[in-house]
Copies of this chain bind each other. A is one copy, B any other.
Amino acid sequence: MKIYKGEKKRQYVTNHSIVHLFSFPIEEHIEVHEYERDEWIIQEDRRPNYLFYVIEGKAKIYVTYQNGKVSLLNFINADEYIGEMELLNDVYYTKGIQASTKTICFAFPFHRYRDRLLEDAKFLRELTKFLSVKATNMAAKYSQSLAFPLENRLADFILQTADRGVYKEKHVTVCDYLGVSYRHLLHVLTQFCEKNYLEKEGRNYRIKQYDSLYSLTEVLKNK
């Protein structure tokens, strides 16, 4: 982890202005942190001292169970908060946050900002919306995961993450995210290839029948 100072810091604060998110001057005690790929921004079960706002990069939220099972709860992208649960709740089991690319965040030390943030309607309004979307998405994922087999959820995930017609995600990550075993994920991918929905290209998969995959995702929609 690096903390930017001086000119580099000033540059980020200027080029990624967030003054519109708050109704008080926010910049004085702000820090700019850089995390490298695979670095832990927050360690599981260890409360952070900052509220973070991601300005570049991508991260993952992980939770671990006593039996060693790991769940990738969600991805975090630019312009999203990290540590907001700890800002709001004194009692909270802190999830692990791992950078999946180089990630740069603004970091607001709780002790300097907490009280003012919790009084700021502009900030709270946006945070409330952010959390409402988060809760809605988790609810959708939950019910879909119980109501439909991997085939449907994987088709959805492939279409969402494919890069110009090619699916490139790492299997080890995806099986934690979709909550299935590595073995089963590979099994269903193989089925997609056998049906010619996908074609394997080295380590990646090229989408051959977009429509077939799309129709698998349609059952996920609400009535």
Contact = CB atoms under 8 A, between A and B. Distances in A.
A218 B89 CA distance: 23
Contacts of A139: 63, 73-74, 138
Given A73-B142, A125-B124, A143-B73, A219 B135 contact: no
Most chain B C-beta atoms within 10 Å of own C-beta, residue among A119, A128, A134: A128
Interface residues of A, number: 49
Contacts of A92: 136
Contacts of A93: 222
Given A119-B121, A124-B124, A129 B63 contact: no
Contacts of A180: 146
A98 B25 CA distance: 45
A66 B222 contact: yes
A219 B85 contact: no
A42 to B, nearest CB: 14
Nearest to A131: B131
A223 interface: yes
Nearest to A62: B143
B66 A223 contact: yes
A80 interface: no
A63 B145 contact: no
A89 B129 contact: yes
A133 B89 contact: yes
Interface in A22-73: 44-45, 63-67, 69, 71, 73
Contact of A147 (B71, B88, B121, B218): B71
Interface of A: 44-45, 63-67, 69, 71, 73-74, 84-85, 88-89, 92-93, 118-121, 124-125, 127-129, 131-136, 138-139, 141-143, 145-148, 179-180, 218-223
Given A44-B223, A135-B135, 9 more contacts: A44-B222, A63-B222, A65-B148, A69-B147, A73-B139, A88-B129, A121-B121, A128-B128, A131-B135
